[in-house]
């Protein structure tokens, strides 16, 4: 008795999770290729970090025994990274994030509610960040096509292997 089965991968999250189950090395290669495709957006974000936004941000700053600052340009540039989030309730799957705490505070200060720090910084649009959001949105058109092509190729490869 012959049995025919077909596997259809619905999206990026499912593709990455299926890769992990089928071939972990293929998943590593997928993530490396996706990072390489997104490199122009990462470079665009890193190029925007040129100076300390406010002079006080270059000094040590702690709150409730938690070190928040100093903000340094080198650490802010190094903190821009790519992350893959395949959790069930994840909003995005492939993300460009800021790992440096001081730069992340600068990026998001004032999004939820106004405060003294956000009032002294460049205003941020609702739901966005100061540097990462606009830089990624400008660079995303070229990235989306390549990423979609790579995801489709990988999905068809998974279907063939099943």
Q: Taking each helix axis from N to C terminus, what angle separates 24-37 and 132-161, rounded to the nearest 10 degrees?
A: 150
Residues 3-46: tens digit of each pLDDT: 333 334 456 777 777 777 877 888 888 888 888 988 988 998 89
Q: Where are the domains of the chain?
A: 12-161
**Strand, coil or helix: 130:** coil
Q: Is the pLDDT of residue 125 over 50?
A: yes
Calpha distance 5→125 (Å, rounded) = 48
pLDDT at residue 2, as a whole number: 40
C-alpha closest to that of 123 among 108, 137, 135, 138: 108
| Cβ atoms < 10 Å from Cβ of 79 | 20
Q: What is the pTM of this model?
A: 0.74
CB-side exposure of 123: number of CA atoms within 13 Å? 2
CA distance 114 to 99: 23
């Amino acid at each position: 008795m012959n049995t025919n089965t077909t596997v259809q991968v619905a999206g990026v999250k499912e593709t990455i999770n299926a890769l992990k189950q089928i071939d972990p090395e293929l998943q590593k290669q997928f993530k490396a290729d996706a990072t390489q495709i997104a490199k122009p957006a990462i470079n665009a974000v890193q190029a925007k970090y040129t100076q300390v936004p406010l002079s006080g941000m270059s000094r040590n700053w702690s709150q409730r025994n938690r070190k928040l600052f100093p903000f340094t340009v080198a650490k802010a540039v190094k903190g821009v990274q790519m992350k893959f989030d395949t959790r069930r309730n994840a909003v995005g799957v492939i993300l460009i994030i800021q790992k440096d705490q001081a730069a992340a505070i600068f990026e998001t200060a004032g999004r939820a509610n106004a405060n003294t720090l956000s009032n002294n910084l460049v205003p941020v649009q609702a739901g966005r960040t100061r540097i990462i959001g606009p830089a990624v949105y400008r660079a995303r058109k070229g990235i989306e096509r390549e990423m979609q092509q790579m995801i489709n190729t990988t999905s068809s490869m998974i279907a063939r292997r099943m």
